[in-house]
Chain A
Amino acid sequence: MLGKLALAGIKNRRRDYLVLLAGLTMPAAIFYMFANLTTNKAFVKANGVVGQSMLIFGFGAVLLILITIVYIMYANSFLLSMRQHDYGLFMMLGAKKRRIGQLVFLETLILGTVATAIGIVLGLLMSRFLVGFLLNALGLHLAHLESFYLPAIIATAVLYVGLFILASLFNLVKLTRTTVLKLLHTDEQANQPQVKPVRQMIAGIVGILLLAAGYWALANIKMLQMAAIPFAIVTITLGTYLLFRATLLTIIRWLRQTKWAKKHLNGFLMGQLNFRVYNYTRMLTIVSLLFAMALGAITVGSGYHRQLPMMADSLGSYTIAIHDKTAKEQQLIGKLNVVNQATYTQKRQGKTVFYNAAEFKQHPYEFNEGTMTPKYVKKTAAQMKSTDLNSLDFLNLAVLGQNNLYAPKMLNAAKFSRQAGKTVSVTTIRVKNIDKDRATLKKLNQLEMARFPHASELTVGNYQSYELMLAFFGGLEFMGYFLGIAFLAMLASCLMFKILSGAPGDKRRYRMLYKVGVRHSLMRNGIAKEIGIFFMIPGIMGVIDVLFGLQMFKPLMPKPMSPYLGIGSTFAIFIGLYAIYYLITLALYWQIVLPQAPATVDHK
């Protein structure tokens, strides 16, 4: 009978349970994808993910587990906040505590198991489609990437079901230890935190010092090696927590005294924040850290994506060199976005390649003399020095064999025409953006390599360098994006649940406001501001963390790349995604909390 009642209770709150289920499914799916990528040894080996980057994956996995634990705690408290009133009522009506305990345990466990199962299936689908899509969009190819990987499924199932068993036990203990009266009135209590100015000052200063220490450690990762990361995680977490604890309440208290707080619902908003912020400090700390990690990961990923072509460009003077170009190749060249193109005749004899100086007078050869950013200088034969003639780029135009290049020599037109040797024409092409013309360049390269093969260690032209770099850094780039998206999904869901678990209590408060005659629009705005502030605090802190934390990627991004280059657009996209989460949370909150129009008002 009690089981039936409990089930009826769930049915009545179908929508809330769907939110909860959807929210629990998400991390399971993400965890599966992550487990799939990191535990799949064939994949990891095939993609040359070694040393430092493997450690980053390891930290990623540990973090994801920690976040999952926190996340399930919040989701669980949301579940409990929905149910405790019902269970309190059952107990008041005489249901035995043991029986209620069983119900709570079962409910949590069933919900968790279902969520895990759906999550794994979703994770499989996401591995197949989302990862594929991401790789496609980034133009990467990662070998041995499979969506179905049994060890990953087992790892996900064990971790999640295990965590849910813990959560069920926690609920069991919590519900059976709480008195019936407390259960019935839990949402009516509001703790007013005490403010002790001296303590807060000290906490604030210690917090800032800890943050500084953490940032310093990240910036000096070369010196501290891998110890920097755990050190920074601990100091930044503690520092953020202390800083929030010290400043947020003080700011709110101060705002409450101002005239601004006496307009419309501002005072109510401040009151809400005042009694919430304290309880939310831990959550805000974790979320701000997650925010930093997600944003940092995506920034690094997009940094590689944006900067690898730049780096390739800085290496040489031409993108691709074509020998004895065919009609088909000519047609492909027509599709390229060419910035510079020149064709020269070579005569190859013995170990020497001869060039016609007259051709260089007509079409000067373009050298790249920049060290970090390309600097193109055009030179005729007369202007070329022997160092120019012996620059690797120029030498590469005539490959003799394994580790062997023809020695170039300039001849005047008359001598050149008399020179014996095999005649070959070479066309150097520089395109505007390697990444944009990558598909065409690939075809051209294949045709060229079929007729004029050379060892793969030797790269001729920036296109070949680019492909080599992609193979090397692509895994990192992909991991950056992937981790970023995963962390973002988790952090926003964390925030969402913590905020939503306050909704049942707020429902009563907004009903009071409604009775007192507060306009709907005012209540909507009030909620939007309150939730907005809870989203903004970790957001701002997270951005600061990232700005300092990117220092640690400097050793991983050789110059001319820099983790800070072009971060503006990445930040904008990321914040856009974060804003979408905010809007979803807001819409859900509005639905749960706002009183209905009079026609359907319930009579209490």
Chain B
Amino acid sequence: MFQSQLKSRAKMKRRQIIPGFGLTFGLSLSYLSLLVLIPLSMIFIYTSQLGWDGFLKQISQPLVLAAYRLSFTTALAASLINLVFGTLTAWVLVRYSFPGRKLIDGLLDLPFALPTSVAGITLATLYATNGWIGRLLPFKVSYTQTGIVIALILIGMPFVVRIVEPVLQNMEKEGEEASAVLGANRWQTLIHIVFPKIRAAAFSGFALAFSWALGEYGSVVFIAGNMPFKTESAPLVIMQKLEAFDYDGATSVALVLLIASFLILFLINFSQWLSKRKFADQ
């Protein structure tokens, strides 16, 4: 028993060809643990000290429930809009050529590079009732849920485009050609040949944008106006509870958000695994 264990361990150890595995793996794992795993586990440890009832009491406050609902609906709306426009943008950028295409392609990463607080104050003033855009609109945007959705559209814009773009680029035109030769019209070809191939990628992009939008703080805080029950999203509630030194509340709210992120991450990995298995030959 012991001997076989020893042997298999020796086998494990010997399998690395490039010397230095122990050192690099050890350092990477230590850093990962110290910086990410141990701190993240604090959320779980801290909430477990509250007990199940304490936790439920925290997250079932009407204010918190309203915040979850708000975060969920605004994130969903924004990422659905980004799913549609993102797929369209990817298609247009890959397949068509028009003046300014390169510029738009380059600028698409701006939401990743621009500080969220900059995006936040800019949108808040643009859409304020006396702002450049707000002035032209018959309805209020700043300090409403519409404002939150607009901010989330901006910060989630690159996800779908950047994931769908390479899939479209690497797609063989042969499939479309075959479909056309077999008598399908362009719309049928798109539905039957193109969409199935980009579906998994588009879904991943959508899910990432959704997850990102759920946790977004910087761009939302300025345009939302933090009205409890109306425009206070979950991350804003965490912040507000922290400022009131309500660590129990903040951590409980955070745990639910964290679990939501894990679930989405799992869904993305699972769907990628599924599509990889389906198109294994590619």
A is bound by B: no
**Residues of A in contact with B (beta carbons under 8 Å apart):** none
B residues sitting closer than 8 Å to A (CB atoms) are: none
